[in-house]
Amino acid sequence: MPYHLYDVATFKTSAKRAQAIIVSSKFEYEDALEFGIEKEKIHIIPMGIEVGRIEKNQRETEQLQILFVGRIARVRRIELLLQAVNQLSIPFHLTIAGGEEKTSSVTRTGYLNELKQLTKQLNLENKVTYAGKKTPLELKTLYQSADVFVYPSLYENFGQPLLEAAAHGLPLISTSVGIARDIIIEGETGYQVSGKPEEIKECIESLRNRNLRLQMGQRIQDEVENRFNWGNIMDQYTNLYRSL
């Protein structure tokens, strides 16, 4: 409501005066159109990332290593992931990295405690690790040791963890939010899901095959390297500025 009131009060002046509006994903592009910005003004230039080629572990592991990274907030719907892994018929371990944060002034606190309670109720305490906040170096280690990245969020304008996971060669299982639409090629780099636990569970189990994971990881890493490297991103910004 505060944002809508602000838009009404300012008549969206900044957006109307701007010669160009830069958004970071197709998802943001649609938001910008809904906001009332003229289509001709909108340019999609995503955030960039450094892609370091990482050789994934080639040997078969006993447990499928599943990873979620992000702020622990209700909009991320991590309870759906817990419900999904509870249905798995394969050995697994889930790591949830991130600290609890409110995404708005009206969001209820206590979400992390609720997730831990649900973990206990589902008897998943030995299969789920809450890793807390991590430094960039610590996150890199988590990405390197994971097999699959799952992101059941309800809303994201970009979703930086998705891009980071892809840059580390992890197949993605994600709802159709943020950058997921741009980098998930269905069945080739990952899967887009509605968020239903049963659907997430099926996608995870389909990736128990190590060779399939490696193929998908290589493909998504190539996509990120070709389209999201900083040199390419800065060229897009430079060309846009020069065109105005």
- Domain CATH for 122: 3.40.50.2000
Q: What pLDDT is recorded for position 105?
A: 55
Q: Which DSSP category does 67 fall into?
A: E
Give the whole-angstrom CA distance, residue 196 versus residue 117: 20
Nearest to 72 by CA among 130, 122, 125, 118: 130
Same domain, residue pair 19 and 109: no
Same domain, residue pair 178 and 232: no
Query: What mean pLDDT, rounded, does the chain reach?
Result: 89
Q: What is the pLDDT of residues 132-155, one digit of tens each?
A: 999 999 999 999 999 999 999 999
Q: What pLDDT is recorded for position 14?
A: 80
pTM: 0.85
Residue 59 resides in a domain: no
Same domain, residue pair 231 and 176: no
**What is the greatest pairwise CA distance in the chain?**
60
pLDDT average, residue stretch 28-35: 88
Domain residues for the domain of 23 are: 2-49+227-243
Q: Which DSSP category does 189 fall into?
A: T
**132 sits in which H/E element:** strand 128-132
Q: What pLDDT is recorded for position 16?
A: 78
Q: What pLDDT is recorded for position 119?
A: 97
Same domain, residue pair 36 and 14: yes
Task: Answer for the pair 182, 26: CB distance below 8 angstroms, yes or no.
Answer: yes
Same domain, residue pair 83 and 169: yes
Q: What pLDDT is recorded for position 101?
A: 74
Same domain, residue pair 104 and 205: yes
Residue 35 resides in a domain: yes
Residue 54 resides in a domain: no
Residue 26 resides in a domain: yes
Ranking 30-44, 55-69, 121-135, 213-227 by mean pLDDT, the lowest is 55-69
Q: What is the pLDDT of residues 41-97, one digit of tens each?
A: 999 999 888 876 655 555 556 799 999 999 999 999 999 999 999 999 999 999 999
Same domain, residue pair 33 and 143: no
Same domain, residue pair 19 and 114: no
Same domain, residue pair 33 and 141: no
Same domain, residue pair 101 and 143: yes
Same domain, residue pair 89 and 210: yes
Higher pLDDT pick, 102 / 133: 133
Two tokens at 58? Answer: 């080639």
Residue 236 resides in a domain: yes
- Number of structural domains the chain divides into: 2
Please tell me the number of Cα atoms within 13 Å of 15 on its side-chain side. Answer: 19
Give the whole-angstrom CA distance, residue 111 versus residue 126: 20
Specify which residues 192 forms β-bridges with. Answer: 174
Nearest to 84 by CA among 206, 185, 186, 214: 206
Residue 55 resides in a domain: no
